[in-house]
Structure 1
Amino acid sequence: MADKIRLLPDLVANQIAAGEVVNRPASVVKEMMENAIDAGAHTVKVNYRDGGKDLIQIVDDGCGMSPIDARMAFDRHATSKITSVDDIYSLNTFGFRGEALASIAAVAQVELRTRQEGDEVGTCTEINGGQFAGQSPVMCPVGSQFFVRNLFYNVPARRRFLDKSTTSAAQIKSEFQRVALCNPQVAFELYANDAPVYALAAASLAGRIVDVVGRHIKQNLLEVDADTSIARIGGYIGRPAAAKRRNGEQYLFVNGRYFKSSYLTSAILKAYEKLIPESSSPSYFLYLTIDPSRIDVNVHPQKTEVKFADEEAVWQIINAAVRETLAKTGAVPLMDFDREGAVEIPVLTKGAVYGEPRAMSNSDYNPFREEYIDPTAPDPNVDFAGFDVPFGDGGQTLSDSAGG
């Protein structure tokens, strides 16, 4: 009987991978923007046409690439981010699989213009449908310029099922906002069909939130800041009065990476319990900093799901930090606002034994003892005769007036 199992060609494998990594134009924008951040860019510009199906252009002023790197960057599993499997559990970069550029190039016509600082000329590399089309010297500024044209042109079945241009435009804008909120130190620009949409200068975190979301949120931001041995949490939450029924102003980041978690979101909503209507949702922009070895971002190809080694503890930290911030506004009671010598937020751990403070009482306390009596107070055994307070010009007192 003939053998039936065979290896897929690289081109087919890359096209299949593209269905998971870059399943829509917004995914291309996300991957390319994150590559620009990893390259140390201070300015990133994004332009798209026809919802990203016709063109996606990403320009950055990062470190650029050599001619050899520019060619190898489109090979599957080629990356500069990691060298061993252990590096996956101590990541300080966005990308690490080496799949994004190979997947994009497999389903589009890609042109890369790049130059490193110190090189006299740059390099222009062209890849069409996963096939190397050529490489030549070119004049260009330091950094990288990616042109992704005709996305899924060689996979017509996939191209037919792409979202409408308006829907794709909204998805691209959403991905742009997430990356911009995560990197306030970087300037970003977004163009739709060559028309400007965003022009974000480098700013503080609060300034970036206002620039991205809108000025209406400025007066509703409450700062969150908590530091524990497990995680540090910072950022901003919205005032309870500003909660909305439909709210898209909800962002969670861990180690500079956007992620989704219904479990950790419940920690935030629990802190707002009974402060907002059940049908409303608060705004939040929370940034977690955790030891990279305590999280796993290699869960989903799009890297929006993250596994936490201390998930229950992180839930408690987020809930306590949000409650503390709300308490400072008077929304929930809190006795002591003094940050001097603040006690670390406790974390409940299964099997651990915790010591509770002993209750203190004064058995000698008696409120009816003579030393508690005010000597200036009136004698309760004498009938009240009015107040001896002078009034008027005649020198009379209130008691004289009462006596008639």
Structure 2
Amino acid sequence: MTVKITIQDVLDAKERIRGTVLETPCQRSSQLAEYTGFDTWCKLEFLQRTGSFKERGASNALALLSDEQKRRGVIAASAGNHALALAYHGQRLGVDVKVVMPTFAPMIKISTCRSFDAEVILHGTSFGEAVQQAHEIGEAEGRQYVHGFDDPPIIAGQGTMGLEILEQVPDVDAVVIPIGGAGLIAGTALAIKSQRPEVKVIGVEPINACCYMDALNAGKPVKIAAKPTLADGLAVHTVGDNAFELARDLIDKVVTVTESEIALAILRLVEREKSVVEGSGAASLAACIAGKLPELEGKKVVLALCGGNIDPSILSRIIEVGLAADGRIIRFTARISDRPGGLAEFAKVIAKAGASIKDITHDRTFAGPDVSAVHVQCKIETSSHEHIERVYQSLREHKIPFRPVEIEAETLSAYH
């Protein structure tokens, strides 16, 4: 049975967490507006102490615990951000925190969580397995289980972001919010629609983990087989019951984004906003720059950039995926002469097309029976998709056989 959550719960949560959670800036971005086509504002939730919006719900939920529950401690399952928020505010309030993370959780989130004195248990290759383990430990140790996106105090706490957006951008036309388990968008939509029902609330899911859209199609939360995604914080197997019941009548539209679109959004934020935002947080921008929301052209739109805990070990690789999606890096194999001067002639063709060779590798072993030829694997720096076509056309004009090799963001996401 679902629990009814009201706007009063959100208003009470705002007062309860006041001074414990940062009221993050919501600032205009003329840089991103060039790509989105609308008046773009960014709610910078990645500036929270633990790097995500999750602090709002965690602070509210822990403050509502009874003295006995605080003494026994709490437990949660999380891919990272909920665990971080719970650990940080648990340390602040003197509540013992234990978290179960799936084995694919980013190392930065694991190590930071431990730095807040929380006990971290790595278990399971899926979020569902981590949840099951957390429940078993909680029952055995008498700990209160704090659901990352479906506990009513969590949803009410997340809704305080919506209250802040209305205060900071009172004439906002639409708010775009990433969806994982739907706790953030449910609470935020409740806050916004209760005061400004005409404001559009739009959700964004990674195409590899679209549990909310599947729930809409089924009319109830359903379990999905989520694939690896750069938006690891959104990769849950089912939307929350309470969150779905609340959100389904408040959300105006939901769209999905691909892995390459997420990578490009991360790149845009690094280059244009000088901000490092994780895939989950960048999903809202991904939908906008991919042209998924044309009805917002010319409108005043707030993007929830809701997390910044990206794993540094793969950030450079994600940026390269973004560069590839933006037409600024290409990779191909070509067959060129292995005689003296062959490589120099090939380099001249590339240079004449205005491109730069970043990396090149010779493959003589599998180049075929013609010993006068060699295969080269090249990574070339270009300026746009149109520039790529000019490079390829130059290769054709000089009768150099080549084969493009695509960078698959879906493959990269498996390492996240």
TM-score, shorter chain, exceeding 0.5: no
TM-score for both structures, normalised by structure 1: 0.26
Length-normalised TM-score, structure 2: 0.26
**Structure with the largest fraction of helix:** 2
- Larger radius of gyration, structure 1 or 2? 1
